[in-house]
Amino acid sequence: MTAAAFYWPASGRLECRGWFPSQPGLLDRGQTDGVGSRYVEMSERGELVTLGAATVPVAAWIGEVMRHVEGETVTALVADRFKQAEVGEGLDRAGARCPVIWRGMGFRDGSEDLDRFRRVAYDQKLQTAPSLLMRSAISDAVVLRDPANNMKLAKARSLGRIDAAAAAVLAVAEGARIVGRGTPKGGRLIWA
């Protein structure tokens, strides 16, 4: 699964979407992953889309992600650095022109991002419509802690799909950082 989360920090609005390649079909994939017809239900609800044949093509996926927020001011695009080269090339091919922030999902970045996500949720600054995709992703996720009490997101079941939860954590954490920085007061220098 490939997933994207969209977060508006001013209102707390959070939306998530997921993508699978078309082969195998959603029903077959659901049977293999042990979730039955859940992927078909997500598709019917507009939360999950198929794109590509055997893999989700990155440039086409980024194009769909950016179309979803067309007309909005995109302050930042946050991505897992695990696939940095592939996503970077896809961003170039899709013509996406916004700042990209690369984050890791391990204990260093993951702990900070999970803590920020948790704070936003506890402060009730997170608003989302009912989402089978998110409910499923969160139910398949666990938070692991190392001996220093650093956290990282992981799968609770080996076949679980936590991509939407991971995308939401990245988006909300960056939104919290943006809000924490506040609005710039004064001029900015631009180096050419």
Q: How confident is the model at residue 184 (pLDDT cuts 50, 70, 90)?
A: low
Neighbours of 44 (CB within 10 A): 12
Q: Which residue has the tokens 């946050």?
A: 78
192 in any annotated domain: no
Look at residue 121 in the predicted model and tell me its pLDDT.
96
Residues near 185 by beta carbon (within 8 Å), at least 6 away in sequence: none
| pLDDT value for 145 | 95
What pLDDT is attached to residue 52? Answer: 95
How many whole angstroms from its chain centre is CA 74?
15
CATH number at residue 84: 3.30.420
Give a yes or no: residue 184 inside a domain.
no
Asked whether residue 10 is assigned to any structural domain, the reply reads yes
The verdict on residue 161 lying in a domain is yes
Alpha carbon distance 154, 143 (integer Å): 6
The answer to whether 67 and 95 have CB atoms below 8 angstroms apart is no
Residue ranges making up the domain that contains 153: 2-178
- Each residue of 88-104: b (16+ CB within 10 Å) or e? eebbeebebeeeeeebe
Residue 190 lies in a domain: no
Confidence (pLDDT) at 189: 60
* Within a domain: 189: no
Angstrom distance (rounded) from CA 148 to CA 46 = 41
Half-sphere exposure of 95 (CA within 13 A, CB side): 3
Out of 40-54, 89-103, 174-188, least confident range: 174-188
Report pLDDT digits (tens) over 27-66.
999 999 999 999 999 999 999 999 999 999 999 999 999 9
Q: What mean pLDDT value characterizes the chain?
A: 93
- pLDDT at residue 173 greater than cutoff 90: yes
Q: What is the pTM of this model?
A: 0.91
| Number of domains present in the structure of the chain | 1
Neighbours of 158 (CB within 10 A): 8
Specify if 134 maps to a domain. Answer: yes
Q: Is the pLDDT of residue 186 over 80?
A: no
| pLDDT value, residue 185 | 67
Instruction: Say if 49 falls within a structural domain.
Output: yes
Residue 192: per-residue pLDDT? 54
